[in-house]
Amino acid sequence: MTAFASPADALERLAGAGYLADDKIATTVFLAGRLGKPLLVEGPAGVGKTELAKAVATATDAELVRLQCYEGLDEARALYVWNYKKQLIRIQAAGSDSAWQETHDDIFTEEFLLARPLLTAIRRTEPTVLLIDETDKADVEVEGLLLEVLSDYQVTIPELGTIKAARTPFVVLTSNATRELSEALKRRCLFLHLDYPDAARETAIVLSRVPELPEALAEQLVRTVRALRALDLRKSPSIAESVDWGRTLLALGLDTLDEAAVKDTLGVVLKHAADQATATSKLGLS
């Protein structure tokens, strides 16, 4: 799937989808589409990894298919599962006179197959962005399942054979780096590390999402967020929470982010009591 004509085209179209990328992001996204390789995006939570995949889907008029990873994720939830209840009804309807081989061949067909995200993305003929979100949260065994899908863009179902992608999806894997992904998986991907943006770009992001917010207030907000991120917190404020804070200040009709405003609205950006206590102490909020 060739998603973008050039890095400059990626930069412009991602911006049109509401994602303000820099040159490194735009170049890597362009190459992932041009080379047909999965894109592994790694970085701390809240830096826009998932939003990048959504923006690629929007910018290319593609359908977003999302596999949310978690501990205990297995093949049935990621790839496919047989509709056992429907198969049982078919077996009962066949009666005792039907030969078992005939019944077996009948129930292991497309009619009884329930596709999960990986198989869904492989089978689609329209433009598709496959988001494998928080890959590092899945068990190591899931990576083996991903290898076939990401190596040859195909899925093997014993009863039906190998299903190859009619159209290669644009694949984005995200990772918060809570564990190291296998080298075999990394080799199949282009790699992009995302961190929190600099102050100017984060201000631009906030203003793009909350255009009614005065620029001076957006700059003040971003300075405060960056001060919070410098603290030893359990969960630093994400870019999305910076945007939420901007909307909060606008809703309250505030024109400055003074100590009282920070203290009263701190729950918008810090979601742990211990983090709020740390911020209150370190920033001298009374």
Domain CATH code at residue 51: 3.40.50.300
Q: Are residues 270 and 203 in the same domain?
A: yes
Q: Are residues 159 and 251 in the same domain?
A: no
Integer Cα distance of 175 and 277 in angstroms:
29
Q: Are residues 43 and 129 in the same domain?
A: yes
Residue 88 within a domain = yes
Widest pairwise Cα distance in the chain:
82
pLDDT of residue 85: 83
Show which of 173, 193, 213 is a domain's final residue: 193
Show which of 193, 214, 241 is a domain's final residue: 193
Q: Are residues 134 and 45 in the same domain?
A: yes
Q: Are residues 85 and 185 in the same domain?
A: no
Q: Are residues 27 and 121 in the same domain?
A: yes
- Domain extent, residue 207, equals 199-280
Q: How confident is the model at residue 97 (pLDDT cuts 50, 70, 90)?
A: low
Q: Are residues 45 and 124 in the same domain?
A: yes
Across the chain, where does the E strand assignment appear? 39-42, 63-68, 80-82, 113-115, 128-133, 154-157, 161-164, 170-175, 190-193
Q: How confident is the model at residue 37 (pLDDT cuts 50, 70, 90)?
A: very high
Residue 82 has pLDDT above 80, yes or no: yes
pLDDT of residue 50: 96
pLDDT of residue 104: 59
Residues linked to residue 163 through DSSP beta bridges, in sequence order: 155
Residue 285 within a domain = no
Residue 2 within a domain = no
Residue 55 within a domain = yes
Q: Return the higher-pLDDT residue of 143 and 51.
A: 51
Q: How confident is the model at residue 107 (pLDDT cuts 50, 70, 90)?
A: confident
Q: Are residues 51 and 188 in the same domain?
A: yes
pLDDT of residue 142: 87
Residue 112 has pLDDT above 90, yes or no: no
Residue 29 within a domain = yes
Residue 1 within a domain = no
* Bridge-based pairing state of the strands 63-68 and 39-42: unpaired
Q: Are residues 36 and 126 in the same domain?
A: yes
Q: Are residues 186 and 132 in the same domain?
A: yes
Q: Is 153 exposed, middle or buried (0-12, 13-18, 19+ CB in 10 A)?
A: buried
Q: What DSSP element (H or E) covers 89?
A: helix 84-94
Residue 75 within a domain = no
Which residues lie closer than 8 Å to 37 by C-beta, 6 or more apart? 31, 188, 189, 190
pLDDT of residue 169: 94
**Mean pLDDT of the 9-34 span:** 95
Q: Are residues 225 and 244 in the same domain?
A: yes
Show which of 169, 193, 217 is a domain's final residue: 193
Residue 33 within a domain = yes
Q: Are residues 89 and 179 in the same domain?
A: no
Question: How many structural domains compose the chain?
Answer: 3
